[in-house]
């Protein structure tokens, strides 16, 4: 398939959540076209990342995005890929404790340069189910 097109992308779907900037640069030098920025998946109200003293999730997101955007500006070969959520963590609306804030974060994600990944349901502001509950089939 790559022979028919002038551009072909390579991607590695693996857990590199703790990847540092030098790791991301090395992955791209090794042939990957994009590395997912997992930093935004750690955004959570009153957490280790978004401290109570910061006031809002917006302040926390601004700080994280500023660092990541600066990294990509200094390393244009590393194509940005963004995600706030995935199947291994709590849903965005549950983490920020507001459906409206979750929707705003996803709208912000849409205007970021690069590629977006969305976890099914996050675009609707879906929250986590209570522990031990399940959705039955109809």
Could you state, in order of their start, the residue ranges of all structural domains in the chain?
21-124
Provide the terminal-to-terminal Cα distance of the chain, rounded to the nearest Å.
40
Q: What is the mean pLDDT of residues 110-136?
A: 86
For the chain, give the longest Cα–Cα distance: 54
DSSP annotation of 136 reads P
Residue 105, classed as helix, strand or coil, is: helix
Q: Are strands 79-83 and 115-117 parallel, antiparallel or unpaired?
A: parallel
pLDDT tier at 19 (50, 70, 90 boundaries)?
low
Cα 60 to Cα 57: distance, rounded to the nearest angstrom: 5
Q: What is the mean pLDDT of residues 30-34?
A: 81
pLDDT tens-digit readout, 58-108:
888 998 899 999 989 988 888 899 999 998 899 999 999 889 999 999 999
């Amino acid at each position: 398939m790559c022979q028919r097109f002038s551009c072909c992308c390579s991607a590695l779907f693996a857990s590199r959540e703790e990847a540092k900037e030098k790791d991301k640069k090395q992955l791209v030098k090794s042939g990957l076209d994009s590395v997912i920025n997992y930093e935004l998946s750690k955004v959570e109200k009153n957490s280790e990342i978004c401290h109570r003293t910061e006031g809002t999730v917006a302040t926390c997101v601004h700080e994280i995005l500023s660092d990541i955007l600066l990294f990509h500006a200094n390393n244009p070969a590393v194509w940005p890929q963004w995600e706030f959520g995935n199947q291994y963590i709590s849903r965005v609306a549950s983490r920020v404790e507001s459906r409206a804030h979750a929707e705003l974060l996803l709208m912000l994600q849409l205007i970021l340069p690069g590629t977006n990944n969305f976890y099914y349901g996050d675009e609707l502001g879906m929250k986590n189910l209570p522990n031990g509950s399940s959705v039955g089939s109809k």
